């Protein structure tokens, strides 16, 4: 199985701050990498697919980049409604696997 790691595991930032999360795959996954946002008690929501493509309807303050094994997810200006856990997920090869998540809250 392809292992996914994320860092940090949690972060606290102020409204308006730039927030960056990194995700690393245990092998080359090209750009078969997605990012999801999950709020407490809710299903995950797709934000970014194929490493850098913004899902329809998702605010442009969310972005993604990277290829191969190293990927980055950025919130350009943190908003109160962005409080959530963020997961990366590879689909280069089944079983599709998720990172352990990064919890983001407001300082």
Partner 1 sequence: QVQLQQWGAGLLKPSETLSLTCTVYGGSFSDYYWTWIRQPPGKGLEWIGEINNIGSTKYNPSLHSRVTISADTSKNQFSLKVYSVAAADTAVYYCARGSGRFYQGVFDNWGQGTLVTVSS
For partner 1, the closer of residues 49 and 71 by Cβ is: 49
For the bound state, the minimum distance from the C-beta of residue 19 to partner 1, rounded and expressed in Å, comes to 20
Q: Least separation, in Å, of the C-beta of 51 and partner 1?
A: 11
| Footprint on this chain of partner 1 (rule: CB under 8 A) | 1, 32, 34, 36, 42-46, 49-50, 55, 87, 89-101
Cα–Cα distance for residue pair 29/12, rounded to 1 Å: 29
Range 22-45 burial, b when 16+ CB lie within 10 A, else e: bbbbeeebebbbbbbbeeeeeebe
Output the smallest distance, CB 42 to partner 1, in A.
Answer: 8
- Within 13 Å of residue 100, how many CA atoms lie on the same side as its CB? 8
Of 38 and 74, which CB lies nearer to partner 1 in the complex structure? Answer: 38
């Amino acid at each position: 199985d392809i292992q996914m790691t994320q860092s940090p595991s949690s972060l606290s930032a102020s409204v308006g701050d730039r927030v960056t999360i990194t995700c690393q795959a245990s092998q080359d996954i090209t750009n078969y990498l997605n990012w999801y946002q999950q709020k407490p008690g809710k299903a995950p929501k797709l934000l970014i697919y194929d490493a850098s493509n913004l899902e329809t309807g998702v605010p442009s303050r969310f972005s993604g980049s990277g290829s191969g094994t190293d990927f980055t997810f950025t919130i350009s200006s943190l908003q109160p409604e962005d409080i959530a856990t963020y997961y990366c997920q590879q689909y280069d090869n089944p079983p599709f696997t998720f990172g352990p998540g990064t919890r983001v809250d407001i300082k």
